[in-house]
Structure 1
Amino acid sequence: MLRIQNLVKRYGHGEPVLRGLDLDVPGESVVSIIGASGAGKSTLLRCINRLVEPTEGSIELNGLELTHLKREELRKARRRIGMIFQGFNLVDRLTVMENVQCGRLGYIPYWRAALRKYPAEDIERAYHLMERVGIAHYANKRADALSGGERQRVGVVRALMQQPEILLADEPTASLDPVSSRQIMELLQKLSQELSLPVLINIHNVAEAREYTQRIVGMRFGKLIFDGKPADLDQAAMDAVYSGTAGDDRQQADVESRQAVTS
């Protein structure tokens, strides 16, 4: 269970990006976060794993309060939180196996990673997971030789190698073609069920949120203004989430996606 209470994030003396946000994410659930650019979706995910420091509030993962952890305690806590990035965040010159093993860096001594001397059980687990997502045959291939969808599958396996208690996915399909996008969303949905793993996804594609997640959270100006099942996301809720924001290319894409879904 992830429990967030009264979360506030402010940069300097400006207006807060997150404004007293409350959110619970139970186990074995796939929850999507929608909203126009600037709503605070990515900031929320980065506060959870402390890539961004919260200004106020509480973030608790299975009984562990995350917001006040320092150094070694924080490093250990981050092992419990898998992160999947829009830009993949792979090391291009390394092989798929080497990138996947980066998910174990919080568990093994530095010298093992530097010398590529990974424990046998970690290699066995990596092959099992790569087989599960369909990339085992790429184990010795460099990451920069893969397609976008294949690279994102490497990112998924790397996160699972941490044996996380929750998966955070920050726009995991934004850089992918439509077919690869659907494949990645379906994969996250199935992995959540198979591993009893909660998944929290920041996503711009409302159609994919409707199809592949059990619950949709809508954000606007740093606040949650919708929280319900996909079937409950009607036109009024969509208007509340997306109206009244300054337009740019990404926001226009949000509006077009919304219109495509509701037309």
Structure 2
Amino acid sequence: MLKITNLEKSYTKGAPVLKGLNLTTDHRRLTAIIGSSGAGKSTLLRCINRLVKADSGSIELNGTELLSLSGRALQDSRRQIGMIFQAYNLVDRLTVMENVLSGRLGYTGFFRGVFRKFPQEDVDRAYALLKRVGLSQYVNKRCDALSGGERQRVGCARALMQNPQILLADEPTASLDPKTSERIMELIAGITEELDLPVLINLHNVPQATTYADRILGLRHGVMIFDGNPDELTEDWLEQIYAGHEDDLKKQMKVGSAEHDDE
């Protein structure tokens, strides 16, 4: 279970990005976080996985308070949190298999990772995950030779190699073309179902959020103003979530419509 209580984060004094945010998710669910640029979506995920440290509040994952951890305890907690990035964060000169196996570095240690000395069970799991994401034929291909959608599939497999207790995804479809974007969302939604894995995903595309998510959170200026099912996300709610950013909302809705038209 992930439980966030009164989370506060500022990058500049007097300009909070997250303002007393509360969130609990305790079972298999794909939860989409929507909001305009600067609403605090990415900051929320980065606080959860401790890429940035919150100023105050509490983040508990299965009973462990993450904000108080440091050193080895913090490293151990990060192994439990898978992350899919918008910019993929792959090592381009390494192969697909090497990038996926890097998801086990928190378990095998630095030197074993450097010399590619992974246990056979890890290698077998990497093969299985690459088959699941449709890349078994690219095992030995360098990542800089892949398309954007293929690179994001590698990122998904790498995150799952950690055997995480929760999966975070920071706008994983934002850099992809419409059809590829849909396929990546289908993949993430399928993984959620198959592995009984809770997922928190930031989306710039409202139609994707309503299509694939079980739960939608709406952030505005660091405050969660909406928490409900997709069918509860009315136009009135969207106007409140994107107040002052109507052009951003129109663009997102237009992109979503184009994606479905292409299929």
**What amino acid is the match of 2:28?**
E
Kept after mapping to 1: 8 A contact 2:205/2:256: no
Q: CA offset at residue 257 of structure 1? A: 2.0
Q: State the SS of the aligned residue for 1:46.
A: helix
The alignment's TM-score, normalised by the length of structure 2, stands at: 0.95
Gaps of 5+ in 1: 246-250
Q: Which residue number in structure 2 is paired with residue 122 of structure 1?
A: 122
Count of aligned positions = 257
Deviations 1:217-263 (A, max 9, x none): 00000000011011010011000000124xxxxx734332246779x
Deviates most, 190-199 or 106-115: 106-115
Aligned counterparts, 1:218-233, within 5 A: 218-233=218-233
Is 1:177 paired with 2:172? no
Tell me the residue number matched to 2:260: none
CA contact 1:104–1:162 (8 Å) conserved in 2? yes
> In structure 1, how many angstroms separate the alpha carbons of the residues matched to 2:173 and 2:4?
25
**1:252 aligned onto 2:243:** no
Matched with 1:151 is: 151
Q: Using the alignment, how far apart are the partners of 2:143 and 2:114 within structure 1? A: 18
Asked if the contact 1:219–1:241 (Cα under 8 Å) also holds between the matched residues in 2, the reply is yes
Deviations 1:42-75 (A, max 9, x none): 0000000000100010001111110100010000
Larger deviation: 105-114 or 205-214? 105-114
Aligned residue in 2 for 1:6: 6
Code of the residue aligned with 2:249 in structure 1: it is: D
Partner of 2:21: 21
Once the two structures are overlaid, the 10-residue window that deviates more, 146-155 or 112-121, is 112-121
CA distance in 2, matches of 1:141, 1:231: 42
In structure 2, what is the equivalent of residue 165 of structure 1? 165
Asked whether the equivalents of residues 205 and 255 of structure 2 are also in contact (C-alpha less than 8 Å), the reply is no
| 1:193 aligned partner | 193
TM alignment of 1:233-248, pairs within 5 A: 233-245=233-245
Give the distance between the partners of 1:226 and 1:86, measured in 2 at CA.
24
- Once residues 152 and 140 of structure 1 are traced to their aligned partners in structure 2, the CA distance between those partners, rounded to angstroms, is 16
> C-alpha offsets along residues 80-130 of structure 1, whole Å, 9 cap, x if unaligned?
000000000000000000000110010002221111121111000000111
1:77 matched to 2:72? The reply is: no
Q: What letter matches 1:194 in structure 2?
A: E
Query: CA 1:93 to 1:223, structure 2 compared with 1: closer, same or farther past 3 Å?
Result: same
Percent of aligned positions that are identical: 58
Distance between the aligned counterparts of 1:6 and 1:205, measured in 2?
27
8 A Cα contact 1:47 1:53, kept in partner: yes
- What amino acid maps onto 1:183 in structure 2? R
CA contact (8 A) 2:83 2:167 kept: yes
Could you tell which deviates more after superposition, 69-78 or 253-262?
Answer: 253-262
Q: Over residues 172-198 of structure 1, what are the superposed CA-to-partner deviations in whole Å (9 max), with x where a residue is unaligned? A: 000111111111111111111110100
In 1, are the aligned partners of 2:103 and 2:159 still within 8 Å (CA)? yes
Tell me if 1:36 matches 2:36: yes
* Aligned 8 A contact 2:21 2:222 in 1: yes
After TM superposition, the score normalised by the length of structure 1 is 0.95
Q: RMSD of aligned C-alpha atoms? A: 1.4
Q: Check the 8 A contact 1:207/1:261 in 2, yes or no.
A: yes
State the alpha-carbon separation in 2 of the partners of residues 233 and 75 from structure 1. 37
For 2:223 and 2:113, the matched residues in 1 are separated by: 41
